[in-house]
Amino acid sequence: MSTVRLYDYISWLARCNKCSACTEYVPDGSYEGLCPMSERNIKESFRPSGLMELARQLAIKEHETGETNIAELAKLVGFNPKSLSERFFSCTECGACDISCYTYSGKHPLKIFKLVRRKLAQAGLAPSKFDEVRKNVINYSSPFITDRSRAVKMGKFFRIPEVAGIPEHGEILYFIGCTTAHSRPQIAQSVIKILNMADIPFSVMREEMCCGYPLIHTGQEDIALDLVKSNVQKIKETGAKTVLTSCAGCFQVLSQDYPELVDNIPFEVVHTTRFFTTLINNKKIRLKPIDTIVTYHDPCNIGRKATDPMYDEPRNILSSIPKLNLVEMSRRMQSSFCCGSGGGVVWAYPFKMTDWVSKNRVSEAIKVLGQGKEKYLISACPACELSLGSAGKLNVIDISEFLALSIDVK
pLDDT in tens, the chain (410 residues): 447 899 999 999 998 888 888 887 666 666 788 899 988 888 899 999 999 999 999 999 999 999 999 999 999 999 999 999 999 999 999 999 988 888 888 888 999 999 999 999 999 999 999 999 999 999 998 998 888 787 787 777 888 999 989 999 999 999 999 999 999 999 999 999 999 999 999 999 988 999 999 999 999 999 999 999 999 999 999 999 999 999 999 999 999 999 999 999 999 999 999 999 999 999 999 999 999 999 999 999 999 999 999 999 999 999 999 999 999 999 999 999 999 999 999 999 998 999 999 999 999 999 999 865 689 999 999 999 999 999 878 899 999 999 999 997 76
Spatial separation of the C-alpha atoms in residues 34 and 269, rounded to whole Å? 28
Amino acid at 189: Q
* Architecture of the CATH domain 6-122: Orthogonal Bundle (1.10)
Note whether 6-122 and 286-406 share their fold. no
How far apart are the C-alpha atoms of 168 and 162, rounded to whole Å? 13
Question: Is residue 90 helix, strand or coil?
Answer: coil
CB atoms within 10 A of CB 261: 19
Name the CATH architecture for the domain at 129-278: 3-Layer(aba) Sandwich (3.40)
Task: Determine the Cα–Cα distance for residues 219 and 121; give it in Å rounded to an integer.
Answer: 6
CATH of domain 286-406: 3.40.50
Distance from C-alpha of 209 to C-alpha of 71, rounded to nearest angstrom: 33
Q: What is the pTM of this model?
A: 0.94
| For the chain, domain boundaries | 6-122, 129-278, 286-406
**DSSP classification of residue 158:** T
DSSP 191: H
Residues β-bridged to residue 24: 33
